[in-house]
Amino acid sequence: MPWWWHARRSEAELRSVAPSPSTEASPVLVDVAGRRRFQDMPYLLPKDQQELNRLDYQHYVLRQVFRGNVLAPVQDLLREGTAVLDVGTGTGRWAIEVAEAFPRCRVVGFDREPARSSQGLPPGFRFVQGDLLQGLPFADATFGYVHQRLLVAGIPLAQWPAVLRELLRVTRRGGWIELVELGLGFFPQGPCLQQIVTWWQQLSVARGMDASQLFLLGRWLREAGALQVEQRTCWLPVGRWGGRLGQLLAQDLLVAAGTLEAPVEGLGVSVARFHEILEGLAREWEEGQVTYEVYTAWGRKP
Ligand SMILES: C[S@@+](CC[C@H](N)C(=O)[O-])C[C@H]1O[C@@H](n2cnc3c(N)ncnc32)[C@H](O)[C@@H]1O
C-alpha cells in the first residue's frame, strides 16, 4: 500500500519512504558577483539566503492576495488527507503551511536544492531533491493535489508541455493540479519598466524561456490533458498608490529586479546604468498606477 494511504505515520517512518530512485547528481552552484547561482540549469534567479528571504516575503504577499494558500477546489480532499506535491518548493513555506493546516496530509516539497534543515518541520512534510526538467522521481498517480508556483524563471518554453504532462502523470485520477505564475504583464510600462522587461526577456530567451507567454497557462494545462480547467488572472496594484498590498508587491519586485544586476552586465550594461533604471521604477509605478498580472490555473486529472 502506498505510504500516503496510512493516515498517521511517524516522522521517522515518513522519512524512510524513498521516492523512486533518481540518478540526479547534486546541483552545481557558482558565485557570480556575490550571488549564488545554478550553473547546470537554465534557472535565471539566484539561489542564496537573500533570495530565500525574498521568496518567503513574496509568499506572504501572495497568501494575502489569494486570502489563503489554496485556489483549486481541494479543501475537502485536504481535510480528509491526501498526498500533496509542491513542485519547485523554494523555501518550502507553502508546503509547510499546508502540512501544518492539514495534518492528515503528507506533503512533499520538491526542488533542485533543499533550503532548510529538517529541524522543526511538521511531521507531514518531507523534502525530495531532483531536477524537474529531468522528470519527477515519483510513481504514476502518487498525489491527490499537485501545486507549482513561480517556475517562470526555470522552465524553457519548449519544455512546459512536457512538465505539465509530468505533473499530470504523478497526479492520481480525479486529483488536482494548480499553477500560479507571474510574467511580464505590467500595465502601463514607462521607459524604466520597459527596459527591465526587455532585459528580463533577453536573458530569458537566451535560456529558452519566455515569460511573456504565461497568460497561456490554462490552455497549456488543457492541452496536457487536464479537465475542468479554470484560469483566473488577477491584476495587482504596484506601488504606494495601491495601499499596503501595492507597497509590499513593489518592494518584492524591486528586489527581484535587483537580482538581474550581474546577468545584465553580461549584456554589456554598466552597473551605474542598471541602478539608474532600477531607481526610476518606483517613480513610474506611482505616476502610471501600474498593475501587474498574476496568472492562476487549475485542472483535474481525468
Ligand atoms: C522563484 S522560486 C519559487 C519557489 C516557491 N514555489 C514559491 O512560490 O515561493 C523557484 C524555485 O524553483 C526551483 N527550480 C528551478 N528550476 C528547477 C528544476 N529544474 N528542478 C527543480 N527545482 C527547480 C528553484 O530552486 C527555486 O527554489
Three-state secondary structure call for residue 172:
strand
What pLDDT, on a 0 to 100 scale, did the predictor assign at position 252? 95
Residue 259: name the closest of 274, 273, 240, 281 by CA: 274
Please state the rounded mean pLDDT for residues 273-277: 97
Q: Determine the residue type at 161.
A: P
Do 226 and 300 contact (CB within 8 A), yes or no?
Answer: yes
Lateral strand order in the sheet of 125-129: 125-129, 106-111, 83-87, 143-149, 171-187, 291-300, 227-237
- Please report, for the chain, the start and end positions of each structural domain, with discontinuous segments joined by +: 3-300
* Tens-place pLDDT, residues 89-118: 999 999 999 999 999 999 999 999 988 777
211 exposure class (CB count in 10 Å sphere: 0-12, 13-18, 19+): buried
Residue that the C-alpha cell 538581474 belongs to: 260
Reply yes or no on whether the pLDDT at 22 is more than 50. no
Question: Residue 188: is the preceding peptide bond cis (ω within 30°)?
Answer: yes
Residue 239: name the closest of 231, 249, 230 by CA: 249
* Tens-place pLDDT, residues 191-234: 999 999 999 999 999 999 999 999 999 999 999 999 999 999 99
The CATH code of domain 3-300 reads 3.40.50.150
Pocket of ligand 1, beta carbon within 6 A: 41, 43, 45, 47, 55, 59, 88-90, 94, 111-113, 131-133, 149-151, 153-154
The atom of ligand 1 lying closest to the CA of 56 is 9
CA angle 43, 49, 51 (to 5 degrees): 45
Ligand 1 pocket test, candidate residues 22, 112, 166, 167, most atoms within 8 A of CB:
112
Q: Which long-range contacts (CB under 8 A, 24 or more apart) does 217-224 make?
A: 217/179, 217/181, 217/295, 217/296, 217/297, 218/297, 218/299, 220/160, 220/161, 220/164, 221/164, 221/177, 221/179, 221/297, 221/298, 221/299, 222/299, 223/161, 223/164, 224/161, 224/164, 224/165, 224/167, 224/168
CA of 24 from ligand 1 middle (Å) equals 16
What pLDDT, on a 0 to 100 scale, did the predictor assign at position 284? 97
Ligand 1 pocket test, candidate residues 111, 149, 152, most atoms within 8 A of CB:
111
* Tens-place pLDDT, residues 158-167: 999 999 999 9
What pLDDT, on a 0 to 100 scale, did the predictor assign at position 24? 61
